[in-house]
A and B are shown apart, each in its own frame.
Chain A
Amino acid sequence: MKKNDRDIALFKKLMDRYRFTEPVHAEAKRRFIADNRKILVRVLKSVGAFSFLYGVYLAASFALKKIATGATLTKIVVSAVTAASLSYSGYYAVVKIAGLKTEKPVYEQAVQKQDVKNGVAVKKETGPETLEDIRKRYGRLDQLVLYNGKAIQGAILSRGDVYRIYTLRGIMIISRDKIKVVKPL
């Protein structure tokens, strides 16, 4: 037995020996713990200070007490807001500042302009319905596999530092260093 535990046990005996104890029996303890909120509500109702909202607040407050975390409702709310802020700022720092955002295709803004090479007017809203349409239109179909694992299917319009690919969702511009594999379908 640790010294601390031994001291506590001895102290308990001392309290009993000199009759400082006033033991409450188990049933009474159970009732007192269970009726804590009930008595407060009774008091507030008796003095006319009870309202529905206050009742809801008390229910939440006592529910937290039952969990016995030692935290008040205010502390929980502050902790939740802090955790959410930290999570978002962490995400922002990693994704936006460090540039580690998962590859998201950049759709060409001017998709409504005519594609000079093919003479086909491409509109984002009225794009091809299937990949077969693209194959028919451009005579080929390619697949780009990105380093992030994403696969993009469509017809490559131009290559270089930046790839332009015609897909079911419109024309996408993808930096070459993001592309792992290019293969025809």
Chain B
Amino acid sequence: MFLAHREREFRKAYQRYYPLIINKIFMKVGSVDDAEDICHELFISFYKKFDQVQDPGKWLFSSIRYEIMKYYKRKDAKSGISVHIDDVENDPNLAFENGFRDIRIVINEAIGNDDNYNDERDRTIFKLVAVNNYTYVEAARQMGLSTRQVEYRYAQTVKRILSYLNDRGIANIGDLL
């Protein structure tokens, strides 16, 4: 019974975080096969430590970097190819400098604010559509929802984020473009 409960909870966590995790890893490593292998390794580690993990989302996202390093370390040892972890981990967003840093911070706050999402599913839809450029149909297939549900939830999230920006003094986002 305990095992069944554990597996059920694990499966729920997997289905909730898989779309975000796999895309995040792919953005870092740039290879579909490597991303899938790292994702596989990451969820194995997660399963082993499942009972100790308080917040699965935080644990998974914070473990991505470690799993990537571990994966390439092992791969390098096998193939003898040298890969610079610093290059792999080079996130173009961190190098962003164009004078609009303050606005970027405000937008980042709006996107990161939990109040702008009804639940974790809304956040996943938002990240898939707005960040990873999934179409509504692709996001719906990934999430197991109908396209209309995805479209509606995304529209509601955007509405809340724009309202948040409006409260921060950004009445017309057209001005920022």
Contact = CB atoms under 8 A, between A and B. Distances in A.
Contacts of B35: 28, 32
B142 interface: yes
Interface in A20-56: 20-24, 27-29, 31-33, 35-36, 39-40, 42-44, 46-47, 49, 54
A108 interface: no
Contact of A20 (B19, B48, B107, B176): B107
A7 to B, nearest CB: 6
Contacts, number: 129
B32 A28 contact: yes
Interface residues of A, number: 41
B61 interface: no
Interface string A56-69: 00100000111011
Nearest to B7: A49
Interface string B121-161: 00000000011111000101110111101000011001101
Contacts of B171: none
B130 A20 contact: yes
A160 interface: no
Given A4-B155, A31-B32, A24 B133 contact: yes
B139 to A, nearest CB: 9
A117 interface: no
Given A19-B92, A22-B27, A43-B40, A33 B162 contact: no
Given A24-B133, A33-B141, A40-B11, A19 B96 contact: yes
A19 to B, nearest CB: 5
Top 8 nearest A-B pairs by Cβ distance?
Answer: A65-B144, A23-B133, A70-B145, A43-B43, A22-B27, A24-B132, A47-B47, A18-B104
